[in-house]
Amino acid sequence: MKLVAIQLNAQADWLLNRQQIADLLAQLPSERPCLVLLPENFACLGTTAEYQQIAEPLGEGPIQQQLADWARQWGIWLVAGSLPTRVVGETRLHTSSLVYAPDGTLQGHYHKLHLFDVDVADGHGQYRESASFAPGERWQVVASPFGGLGLSICYDVRFPELYRQLRVAGADILLVPAAFTYVTGQAHWLALLRARAIENQCYVLAANQCGVHGGGRQTWGHSVIIDPWGQVLAEAGHESGVIQAELDLQFLNKIRGDMPVLAHTRLRDGWREPE
């Protein structure tokens, strides 16, 4: 079984991004089954107005149709990192991760829980994701031939309680599509991802944006695949491209059997004040 992360330099134009993705899909390994992850904002990395322009209702629209077509064309499990989807009764959007089976059917989705409202010492300076997006309300694990797929998006990676919930719910692979900034990525990207892999004894498949985007935004790249022992199996640089690694479920089960941290957990009901 193959794990694949696609690293992009997405801009605001969906048609240009679509061609970039199509070119990279042509570089996929021949082995099947194959799990392919696109980064956050794969269709559009732009402004609030540009997100509103391309946003689609969940389950319909030309971008989602293209994703389904790609899954069928290449015979892959395709996880579309994040796409703006419309929210009933809300002017803001969800940023949604979508999982497609090789027959093109939508197997599950996840709306990003944690929104990136921070100040960063880069060319963009201030990020207020909540101005464009509404937070999701629930976590999601999707069943697949690769095991349970624990869905998350970018800033979520700083909230370890989410990933422990995904592991408890049956996740074997933690998916982290991202548009991690250059500054925060250089400081924290790999450390956070390795920690999530080690503490939850899961594979981590993380696809990031790279390069310079509109509005002075710069992303870190370095998409990565990490095994349940925290070893980096594949890592990209700062350019668009494809990375791949083998999924070894026997190794995953051995790690969990040798060191059963989930069984040893004593704070099952969360933190309590000392008595």
- Model confidence over 125-140: pLDDT tens digits? 577 888 889 999 999 9
Average pLDDT over residues 212-230: 95
d(CA 83, CA 221): 19
> What's the domain range around 55?
2-260
Of the pLDDT bands very low, low, confident and very high (cuts 50, 70, 90), residue 110 is: very high
- If DSSP codes are grouped into helix, strand and coil, which group holds residue 191? helix
Q: Give me the pLDDT at residue 269, please.
A: 66
Model confidence over 12-40: pLDDT tens digits? 999 999 999 999 999 999 999 999 999 99
d(CA 77, CA 74): 9
Checking if the pLDDT of 57 tops 90, the result is yes
**Average model confidence (pLDDT) for the chain?**
94
Q: Give me the pLDDT at residue 257, please.
A: 97
Count of domains in the chain? 1
Q: Residue 268 domain-assigned?
A: no
Q: Residue 265 domain-assigned?
A: no
End-to-end C-alpha distance for the chain, whole angstroms: 49
Q: Which residues are catalytic?
A: 40, 112, 154
d(CA 82, CA 112): 8
Q: Residue 271 domain-assigned?
A: no
**CATH, residue 58:** 3.60.110.10
Query: pTM of the predicted model, to two decimals?
Result: 0.94
Of the pLDDT bands very low, low, confident and very high (cuts 50, 70, 90), residue 41 is: very high
